[in-house]
Structure 1
Amino acid sequence: MTDFETQLKELLERTKNIKSPINATFGETNINEYNKPSEVWMNDVQIFYENYLKDHALGDRINSLLFHRKYNELVSCLTSISKDRKFIDKMNGIQEVAVPKYQAKGIPQYDVFISHANRDKEDFVEELYQAINKLGINIFYDKDVIDWGDNWKNVILDGTKKSEFAIIVISENFFDREWTEKELAEFLSRQNRNGQKLILPILHNITLTQLQERYPSVADIQAIDSKKYTCDQIAIMFARQLIKRLKSM
């Protein structure tokens, strides 16, 4: 917490033990003694105002209230300022940063693209999709993204360019399929070009030897075996990868 926030919090905290000032005596009450805590507080607010609040939207009003010694109204103003997150961020040195349009276009639309053979949907991929989806992760999954009347080839190619990661479910069904191999080629090209982790391979009912024989360039990328993990475990593993990426941005 900055000096500004600390002082503002302390000023408001002190008001809990300060009685509102009075303008006339009653009984044997000494008006000066009675009003002393609020006067001391307002003197401190004056210093706080000089240091921090002149440029605030309530600055002129606070200055006037200080001049007229309006304790209760000053408390209300400081309470309002304590809720002004934008001003507090400014005092903390935090500024809004506008993302340039050219940069915004490069921000991935999807957290992950699930590349797979359709024949693997029923026994594995659909369950994997559901496990990742329930974590609130934004997924490019063909049956959800491709709509009636879409040019599905264009949609898929667009998805390969707009995904932060690609989970590649490699199986015998994956081999020699035009579009699974095209997706893989797109992701390999991106990964080699950017030098950033992109491809997360899952071996589904195949061995590492089979992978090495069919896709030597993928064999060097650490893969996991679908038999060794549940889909929920794989979803958590992916979420950790995504968190690491977000923290590094």
Structure 2
Amino acid sequence: MVSDFETQLNELLERAKNTKSPVNATFGETNINEYNKPSEVWMNDVQIFYENYLKTHALADRIKPLLFHRKYSELVSCLTSISKDRKFIDKMNGIQEVAVPKYLAKGIPQYDVFISHANRDKEDFVEELYQAINKLGINIFYDKDVIDWGDNWKNKILEGTKKSEFAIIVISKNFFDREWTEKELAEFLSRQNRNGQKLILPILHNITLTQLQEQYPSVADIQAIESKKYTCDQIAIMFARQLIKRLKSI
């Protein structure tokens, strides 16, 4: 979401593109006051903008005399520079940098979600689900994208289970009794039980709750959804809501 600060800054720069620089002498039949009026109004608005937002910016000491001497072109140049100052913009948007000690940084999740699934379910469901979540700009551990040529895929997967905020587990008959799907599930169950924080988000894909209870009784008490009842876009939005709730609680 764009803040009032960014909105006003962008509007001032956009207006500057269509405003002629002021002149100091009459020329031809043109009335100089009328000619200079748009640029004068623009500089008045920059003065207000400066008073509201820019007094703490590194260019503040340069902008103040430019406003006093009505240096239009130089003011445009300063505002252009400020529009590229991402650190200051983030500050005005209320986004603060948090210094994290190196010994804690390793514990910060690298991925928003790990999609655990059987390869046989990729074609008819998982790939579409991945694309729907990815469209929302969510950082996903998805084996096809994360594991590169030459990687130790077992180590990569285990690393992903440790560095993901959530795990969407697509549970189907294809998921049952597969060494690595069960290993992933065991890792996530262990983390969830150890941390006491919601982690596992099960999706039942072409199986019933009874089948889940028979195969994985430890997962049966976790609220699940059924793939047949929702589109992939709907599931992606549901996950985004879970992620937002988590971020708000931090």
- Cα gap change, 1:210 to 1:52, in 2 (>3 Å): closer
Q: Deviations over 1:150-191 (max 9, x none)?
A: 111111101101111100011111111110000000000011
Q: Which runs of 5+ in 1 are unaligned?
A: none
**What is the Cα deviation at residue 103 of structure 1?**
2.6
Q: Matched residues in 1 for 2:210 and 2:200: separation? A: 19
**What is the Cα deviation at residue 97 of structure 1?**
3.2
- Cα gap change, 1:99 to 1:25, in 2 (>3 Å): same
**What is the Cα deviation at residue 194 of structure 1?**
0.8
Q: Deviations over 1:117-151 (max 9, x none)?
A: 11111111111111111111111111111111111
Larger CA deviation: 181-190 vs 20-29 = 20-29
SS at match of 1:165: strand
Q: Deviations over 1:10-44 (max 9, x none)?
A: 99999999999999999999999999999999999
SS at match of 1:168: strand
- Cα gap change, 1:76 to 1:193, in 2 (>3 Å): same
Larger CA deviation: 200-209 vs 103-112 = 103-112
Structure of larger gyration radius = 1
- Cα gap change, 1:170 to 1:14, in 2 (>3 Å): closer
* RMSD of equivalent CA atoms: 5.1
**What is the Cα deviation at residue 86 of structure 1?**
7.0
Equivalences for residues 7-156 of structure 1 within 5 A: 96-156=97-157
- Cα gap change, 1:19 to 1:104, in 2 (>3 Å): same
**What is the Cα deviation at residue 8 of structure 1?**
15
**What is the Cα deviation at residue 102 of structure 1?**
2.3
Q: Matched residues in 2 for 1:119 and 1:16: separation? A: 56
Taking structure 2 as the reference length, the TM-score comes to 0.66
Larger CA deviation: 227-236 vs 59-68 = 59-68
Alignment match, 2:191:
190
- Cα gap change, 1:46 to 1:117, in 2 (>3 Å): closer
- The percentage of aligned residue pairs carrying the same residue is 93
Q: Which runs of 5+ in 2 are unaligned?
A: none
